[in-house]
Structure 1
Amino acid sequence: MGQQVFQHTLSNGLVLLAERMEHVRSAAINFLVPAGCANDPDGQFGVGSVLADLITRGAGDRDSRELSLALDGLGVDRDESVGVYNMRFWGSTLARNVPAALTIYADILLRPHLPADELEPVQSLAVQDIEALEDAPQAKVMLELRKRYYPSPMNKDRRGTVEDIEALTIAAVKAHHSRLFRPNGTILSVAGNIDWDRLKAQVEDLFGDWKPGADPDLAPIERTPESGHIPKETAQTHIAIAYPSVPVTHADYYAARAADGVLSGGMSARLFTEVREKRGLCYSVGVRHETFKDRGTIIGYAGTGADRAQQTLDVTMAELRKLKDGVTDDEILRVKAGLKASLIMQEESTSSRAGSIASDWYHLGRVRSFDEVQAAIDGLTPGTVVDHLARFPVRGTTLVTIGPAPLTMPE
């Protein structure tokens, strides 16, 4: 039997998606709640991350330990994370345990305790996360790049600031939950060996009474990106760049992904070969495609010795810019093989499928079939990539560096 994807929208706006995978005995649950860090109010940056930690410390009729024991008893491998626009709750377990796990997640999302006596340790962990950036310059330079490249509120960081985290009250955390946790805008995706009719009925029962809330105004406040340098006396320089590309909604999306793959798709890719292998300029270099609903970006990073930093930037930018002059058949074959391998591995993973169908619905308002994705990959040629780069050349590059001296963007 072919791919089986189901969709149902509750009367309160919650979207339920499911993909039945009959060949597995497991299942994955994935919630996208519209409570990402873009919603963090001024003076409360980081409140979403604090909420994401605190929300699992007791819910419904279970305290923090009882909640953990209940999920552990079901064998639920789980995590919570905060993105720009969504807060994600993910769990993977045996398919037969999905109903019990969903019941617990309904308590977590709708009836969390948010205990005041747990706030201080959560704040302490959040502050440690921020302070750890000083020992992680690659993460810090990418954070600074996003702050300077993207418009507000897209440029907010989930970690927030030490000052705002330490000033948070339990009332502020509870108000944040009350304001943002709503069914309209929430996507629940399940993938695995599930019974669709039973799943739909249970979700209606658990979440049907959840009251809708108001949509916040998160329209980007456009501005001109700003390059910059963060002085740090060290033997290394960390280089981060960003420039516009196309979003997943654009017809050129897979051509953009292919261009990214030619540059960074493994040890035979151009950047690894030209910048690291041939010249020995850096220990790490690469680019990747990042997408939001309304825009795409090419994000790049290189880590190198301070004495080779300018040359590293020069060679990297030269490789990015000359890609428009042509790619080879072998490069496209390699990229297509990598994309297809990723697609096949995704087909075999319940967690990947649950995440993928939720992402598709969030960005596209529909779920792409494997056949559609494979056809897009099969349609890639050197010509389609070059044509894309002619329409969307490297331009408007934002540069952020951490190291002893600033660098100059080559013309």
Structure 2
Amino acid sequence: MLKKHICQNGVTVINEHVPAVRSVTIGIWIAAGSRYESTHNNGISHFLEHMLFKGTKTRTAQDIAEAFDAIGGQVNAFTSKEYTCFYAKVMDTYQTYAVDILADMFFNSVFDEAEVEREKNVVLEEIKMYEDTPDDIVHDLLAQASYGQHPLAYPILGTEAHVQSFTSDLLKTYMKERYTPENVVISVAGNVSDGFEDIIEAHFGHYSATSPIEEHNIERPQFLSEHIVKPKHTEQAHLCLGFNGLSVTDDDIYSLMVMNNVLGGSMSSRLFQDIREKQGLAYAVFSYHSSFLDHGLLTIYAGTGRNQLNILKEKINQTIDQFKRKAITDKELANSKEQLKGNLLLSLESTNSRMSRNGKNELLLKKHRTIDDMLRDIEAVNHQTVQTVIERVFTQNPSSALVTATE
């Protein structure tokens, strides 16, 4: 059962009690990501995520790590375009202990200048690792080709120059601006004890915003059909195509998910069968959809030898053209819907998945739907709704990004 509690300062707590398990996952979700950054501080959301693990007034970085290792728990965090999440998964007997430490990290991190300088090197190495992985960096380039100067095009990690500019004071200021009660959701899932909301309230329900929020980066993006080529020493050419997608609130989102499965979301998809199985042109070829608050991007990726790049593009375009002209089959429709339903139901076995779904829904949508509601929405997808989505997504020329060796 899902319960919602609003702390007296506006922090929202979402609690899903799952009595059949012995774990509890606690996630702190914050509306802080690269979308809310500027050309001056790009990457600061991700850097701040790192720094919350680097010591509090009473715990060192090693103390934090050992605290969870000692109870067989897991603690981690991630940053996206639109949110940051810190989470811990522990046995149910340690749920109070876990929230104590997460709260300590949230409120009492010291951002010691020596630690900041040390962590700069860590993040710079992360950026270098990313740059050395062309099948990763090509997706960032596609965001730039699709959104131009809009903050959705900013890399989550930032750039070397941005990272080098971060200071303890800058981190503290950004945290005051973004980590405000109205921007925070705490999502808990698992064998949660009665009254656990009161414990969260005691930790998170009494702080207040100390700086005004400057919402200067939330304008709706315009999709651009631009093209970016990055020369790099690489054995393969890595290609991404981007198409104008749907926002997370769009009524056609389930039809798009079904459509994407048929196009390139599985081993039985058309792209996988046409490009890999029939043509042998690529080892990796797939499509996926990224949904944001007010926009979306459908991405097709494939990697192949440079000498096969032109034929790869031709075959992808042929698959897309056929996909637009010829309706999906009854079998494709049924299989895709069953795949979505299966993924949804299997995720119920993970308290991590439940915590993530609830936290993201509350932070982005401010509403929750039951599993039965979502299953009904998937089942309601039909040939006509999928065709409507195809016509919406594939009407505009795509953006593209290519990472490949020069001649």
Which band: TM-score by shorter chain?
Answer: over 0.9
Deviations 1:236-260 (A, max 9, x none): 2110111112223112111100110
Residue matched to 2:206: 209
Q: Distance in 2 between matches of 1:340 and 1:327?
A: 19
- Looking at structure 1, the residues matched to 110 and 72 of structure 2 have their Cα atoms a distance apart, in angstroms, of 23
Q: Is the 8 A contact 1:347 1:353 kept in 2?
A: yes
1:293 aligns with 2:310: no
How many Å separate the matches in 2 of 1:146 and 1:194? 39
- 1:190 matched to 2:191: no
User: Are residue 28 (structure 1) and residue 18 (structure 2) matched?
Assistant: no
The answer as to whether partners of 2:220 and 2:294 remain within 8 angstroms in 1 is no
Contact 2:36 2:218 in 1 (8 A): no
- Per-residue Cα deviation, 1:287-343 (whole angstroms, up to 9, x for no partner): 111101111220111101111111111211222232232011111121112111111
Distance between the aligned counterparts of 2:50 and 2:307, measured in 1?
42
Aligned to 1:409: none
The CA deviation at 1:358 is 1.2
Alignment check: 8 A CA contact 1:74 1:101 kept: no
Aligned residue identity for 1:396: N
Shift of 1:166: 2.0
Change in Cα spacing, 1:361 to 1:58, as seen in structure 2 (3 Å) is same
Q: How far apart are 1:41 and its partner, in Å?
A: 4.0
What is the CA–CA distance in structure 2 between the aligned matches of 1:293 and 1:222, rounded to whole Å?
10
Which range moved further: 139-148 or 60-69? 60-69
Taking the TM superposition and a 5 Å limit, the aligned residue runs for 1:276-291 are 276-291=276-291
- Summarize the Cα distance change of 1:405–1:51 in structure 2 as closer, same or farther, 3 Å threshold: same
Judge conservation of contact 1:189–1:357 (CA < 8 Å) in 2. yes
Corresponding residue to 1:105 among 102, 107, 112: 102
Mapped to 2, the partners of 1:42 and 1:250 lie a distance apart of 29
**Counterpart selection for 1:169 from 167, 170, 184:** 167
Give the 3 Å change call, closer, same or farther, for CA 233–58 of structure 1 in structure 2.
closer
- 2:76 alignment counterpart: 79
- Taking only the aligned residue pairs, the percentage that are identical comes to 25
Displacement of 1:375: 0.5
Out of 394-403 and 300-309, give the one that drifted further: 394-403
Distance in 2 of aligned mates of 1:161 and 1:391: 34
What's the counterpart of residue 155 of structure 2? 157
Q: Which amino acid in structure 2 is aligned with residue 162 of structure 1?
A: E
Pair 1:157–1:13, CA change in 2 (3 A): same
| Displacement after TM superposition at 1:222 (Å) | 4.0
Are the counterparts in 1 of residues 220 and 295 from structure 2 also a CA contact under 8 Å? no
Alpha-carbon distance in 1 for matches of 2:357, 2:385: 25
- Tell me, in whole angstroms, the C-alpha distance in 2 between the residues paired with 1:184 and 1:311: 51
TM-score by length of 1: 0.93
User: Which amino acid is the alignment partner of residue 211 of structure 1?
Assistant: S
1:189-268 counterparts in 2 under 5 A?
Answer: 189-196=187-194, 198-212=195-209, 213-217=211-215, 218-220=217-219, 222-223=221-222, 225=224, 226-268=226-268
Change in Cα spacing, 1:139 to 1:311, as seen in structure 2 (3 Å) is same
Query: CA 1:354–1:229 in 2, change beyond 3 Å: closer, same or farther?
Result: same
Length-normalised TM-score, structure 2: 0.93
Please give the per-residue CA displacement for 1:81-103, whole angstroms capped at 9, x wherever unaligned. 11112111011111121111111
Q: Which amino acid in the other structure matches residue 229 of structure 2?
A: H
1:13: how far off? 1.7
Counterpart residue number, 1:343: 344
Counterpart code for 1:157: P
Q: Which amino acid aligns with 1:128?
A: E
Whole-angstrom CA distance in 1 between matches of 2:180 and 2:156:
20
Unaligned runs of 5+ in 2: none
User: Helix, strand or coil: the match of 2:241?
Assistant: strand
3-state DSSP of counterpart to 1:273: helix
Do the aligned residues in 2 keep the contact of 1:58 with 1:112 (CA within 8 Å)? yes
Q: Distance in 1 between matches of 2:132 and 2:233?
A: 13
The aligned counterpart of 1:379 is: 380
C-alpha separation in 2, matches of 1:390 and 1:155:
25
**Matched position secondary structure for 2:369:** coil
CA distance in 2, matches of 1:321, 1:395: 13
Partner of 1:57: 54
Q: Would the aligned equivalents of 1:230 and 1:402 in 2 still touch at CA under 8 Å? A: yes
Q: In 2, distance between residues paired with 1:224 and 1:331?
A: 29
Cα distance in 2 for partners of 1:111, 1:233 equals 44
Pair 1:60–1:73, CA change in 2 (3 A): farther
Q: CA deviation at 1:153?
A: 1.4
Distance 2:303 2:134 in 1: 9
Using the TM superposition, give the Cα deviation of residue 221 of structure 1 relative to its aligned residue in structure 2, in angstroms.
6.5
Letter in 2 for 1:114: F
Is 1:369 paired with 2:366?
Answer: no
Deviations 1:108-130 (A, max 9, x none): 11111212221222111111111
Q: Is the 8 A contact 1:240 1:399 kept in 2?
A: yes
**Is 1:123–2:124 an aligned residue pair?**
no
> Is 2:43 the partner of 1:42?
no
CA contact (8 A) 2:181 2:208 kept: yes
When residues 295 and 41 of structure 1 are mapped into structure 2, their CA distance, relative to the original with a 3 A threshold, is closer
What secondary structure sits across from 2:212 in the alignment? coil
Unaligned runs of 5+ in 1: 407-411
CA RMSD of aligned residues (A): 1.9
Contact 2:27–2:88 under 8 Å retained in 1? yes
Q: CA deviation at 1:76?
A: 2.3
Compute the displacement of 1:43 (Å): 3.2
Counterpart of 2:11 (choices 3, 9, 14) is 14
1:136 & 1:186 partners in 2: Cα distance? 33
